[in-house]
Structure 1
């Protein structure tokens, strides 16, 4: 599929997805959500890809939010459908992808942009990053999973503070509260993401897929059950055989 609003580059086993709407600070519109959905479907099916990095073009913005012009005249039914479609097509898809997605937050990550970053498995931010959920200033609430994912990452109290106040926080503050894993100077952000992605790509893709599914259930009653079952299933898979054999032979595994 050819894309108008995103760019995909591949380096070894890593796919880099760049949202390319710099004129609108990479705001999410319906077409961009559709293209990202298709891109991640392709990444999921690509056996040669083991890790994905998601970022925004330019040096100012990861994603500055949703494209408000598209939905300003919606009624309640249309708005509900917008939120459900976006969550199903993109945000939940990324969270449940069979391989890790690293968000390289290079600037503004506001509203739907922060929700997009939160749907990724890992978040690295630049030192010029500004993160926030400003929806209540529009008389709305986050609709792409923000009220659900933010409390899991930072706790209910901090999530309430950020959502109710609509304040923007820095990358450093995001790291302090657990919203960002690490913060780097802007010029070091992508190299550091690549370094992490490369390290991840050397590990068992089968085990990582199982780990993603188990971690995603960590706040539910089914989490322990999922971990136990996945642990057992991996004993019948090729990666466990290679990993254990490599350990015993004192060599690096070849997954």
Structure 2
């Protein structure tokens, strides 16, 4: 069935784009399904790594399905398509566990913005990247002019967004955006298998720290780190106990 499918197979989960007739281009139902997949993963402590995959061999993701947004009014386009898609992609970027995008073929527009949400990208040598939105009269709306600029040099982003040029896997790797492999999925699976031997809490905290440093929802990341530190104290336990027992708390600073 066409859509975004979540597979939970032990410690490694998979999010698979499956819209072959449109080269895995996003529809509104697919955005909702991706949102639901993220919600499930946020409450799945047994999942230690997530692979973002594509069922269609010709493209990782061709972006957004033009027929899904082409007839929307300007207001609905901004509110229902751009903002909602941005919210879902942000949610994916902020999953607590490591994520790897597997690009066995091309990632255009929203597909490139999706790949940018992952913590790591593995590209096949034949895969290419671009931001073709200007060719249909719009601009990148899901992080192509924001998040992507933290991952690729400004001239390279302009080359894609302004001139519609494609960036090949070699250039993407040289810029530090991706690792190139003849077998991207196998490479990602090997990395995932190594990843799950590390401390999940250490990985989560490191991800929070990195995101806070680069501005990925900085305020939430800082407060999450502070909340985790406070939650691990004896004072927190005493405060909860005192509230429950309706007495004055006796904090000891431990």
Q: Compute the TM-score of the two structures, normalised by the length of structure 2.
A: 0.83
Moved segments of 4+, more than 4 Å = none
Q: Is the 8 A contact 1:14 1:51 kept in 2?
A: yes
* 2:244 equivalent in structure 1: none
Partner Cα distance (1:7, 1:143) in 2: 23
* 1:200 equivalent in structure 2: 195
* 1:242 equivalent in structure 2: none
* 2:181 equivalent in structure 1: 184
* 1:167 equivalent in structure 2: 165
Q: How big is the shift at 1:6?
A: 2.7
1:127-165 residue CA offsets vs partner (Å, 9 max, x unmatched): 121211001111211011110012111122322222111
Q: How big is the shift at 1:74?
A: 2.1
Q: 1:215 aligns with which of 207, 210, 215?
A: 210
Larger radius of gyration: 2
1:174-219 residue CA offsets vs partner (Å, 9 max, x unmatched): 1112221x1111xx21110011111111111111111111111223
Q: Is the 8 A contact 1:151 1:158 kept in 2?
A: no
Q: Is the 8 A contact 2:19 2:56 kept in 1?
A: no
How big is the alpha-carbon RMSD for the aligned residues of Structure 1 and Structure 2?
2.6
Structure 2: 5+ residue runs without aligned partners? 234-254
Which aligned pairs between 1:98-247 and structure 2 lie closer than 5 A? Answer: 98-180=96-178, 182-185=179-182, 188-220=183-215, 226=222, 233=229
* 2:243 equivalent in structure 1: none
1:39-73 residue CA offsets vs partner (Å, 9 max, x unmatched): 12111211211110001113211111100011112
The reply on whether 1:60 has 2:58 as its aligned counterpart is yes
Q: Compute the TM-score of the two structures, normalised by the length of structure 1.
A: 0.82
Structure 1: 5+ residue runs without aligned partners? 238-255
Q: How many residues in Structure 1 have an aligned counterpart in Structure 2?
A: 230
Partner Cα distance (2:105, 2:2) in 1: 22
Matched position secondary structure for 1:124: strand
Partner Cα distance (1:177, 1:213) in 2: 23
Partner Cα distance (1:79, 1:32) in 2: 16
* 1:244 equivalent in structure 2: none
Partner Cα distance (1:153, 1:110) in 2: 16
Partner Cα distance (1:96, 1:8) in 2: 17
* 1:87 equivalent in structure 2: 86
Matched position secondary structure for 1:142: coil
Matched position secondary structure for 1:103: strand
